[in-house]
Amino acid sequence: ESPLLLLCLVVEELEKINHPSRSGHYSINFSSLKTMEETKLFKCRPLLMILLIYLLFLNGTAKSEVYTVGDADQWNTGTNYLTWSQKYNFSVGDILAFNYVKGQHNAYEVTEATYQSCNASTGVLAKYESGNDQVKLTEAKKHWFICDADGHCLGGMRFSVDVKEAISSTNGTASTPPAHPDNSYASERRCTVIYLLAFGALLARCFSSWMIKLNCFLYFNIYFFVYFFNLLYNV
C-alpha cells in the first residue's frame, strides 16, 4: 500500500507548494489566479494525474521477486521445503533461485504424480542442474519441484508452489517474509480506501474548474477499480 500513500502525499505536497498561502483553507478564489504560471500549473495537473495512474499500473504489473529456495539454508537436505513454500505468495514473473553445490543436487520441475512418487523416470517437465538455477514462474498454476539425487526427494527435497496471476503491487511484498496475516492486510486496505475518499473530497474542494473535477473523478474511479480488483482476488 505504501507506494499509493506516497503518491497521494506527493500530490498533497505539490498542492501546498503551488498555493502556500492557501494551505490552511481549501478553497481557491479564481479571480486571484491571473498569472500565466498559475494557469499553466492548472493545465498541467490533469497530466500529473495521468502520470500517477500510469505509475500505479506499472507498479502493479512489473514487480517481480526473486525467492531463494530454502532462504538461508538454500537447496539442501535437512530443510523442510513445504514450510518454506507456504511462507510466500508466488505470482507470475517471480523467480525461484535454486542455489546448491553442482553435482550434489539438482532441481527438476515435475508433474504432480512424479512429485508424489519421487520417481523421476517419467513426468519431468524441466531439469536444472547448474547449481545456480534461476527458474522463472511464467504460468499461473501449481508447479512441483524435486531434487532427483538419490533419496533426496523422499528425504524432503520437494515442494510445490501455487503461482497466482500477477495483479497487484501487494503480491510482490514477499521478499520480506509476510509480516501481516490476511485480515490485517484487509484492514490496511480499508484504511487506505478511507484515506483516498477523504483525499478525493479534499481535491474536489480545491478545484472549482469542471475539467479538473472530471479528472479527479476519473482518477479516483480508476483507483477504486484497482482496489476492488485487489480485494476480489487477493484477500
**Contact residues for Cu ion, defined by CB under 5 A:** 105, 147, 149, 152, 157
Which CB sits closer to Cu ion, 81 or 223?
Answer: 81
Instruction: Write down the residue that cell numbers 475518499 correspond to.
Output: 197
d(CA 171, CA 161) in angstroms, rounded, equals 14
Which CB sits closer to Cu ion, 63 or 152?
Answer: 152
For residue 177, the minimal CB distance to Cu ion (Å) is 24
Longest alpha-carbon distance in the chain: 82
For residue 182, the minimal CB distance to Cu ion (Å) is 33
Which CB sits closer to Cu ion, 102 or 141?
Answer: 102
Which CB sits closer to Cu ion, 48 or 118?
Answer: 118
For residue 161, the minimal CB distance to Cu ion (Å) is 18
The size of the chain, in residues, is 235
DSSP letters for 135-190: EE--SSSEEEEE--STTTTTTT-EEEEEEEP--SGGGGGGGS---S-HHHHHHHHH
d(CA 170, CA 167) in angstroms, rounded, equals 8
Which CB sits closer to Cu ion, 48 or 149?
Answer: 149
For residue 187, the minimal CB distance to Cu ion (Å) is 42
d(CA 58, CA 229) in angstroms, rounded, equals 16
Q: Which of 22, 51, 64, 13 is nearest to 166 (CA)?
A: 64
For residue 222, the minimal CB distance to Cu ion (Å) is 48
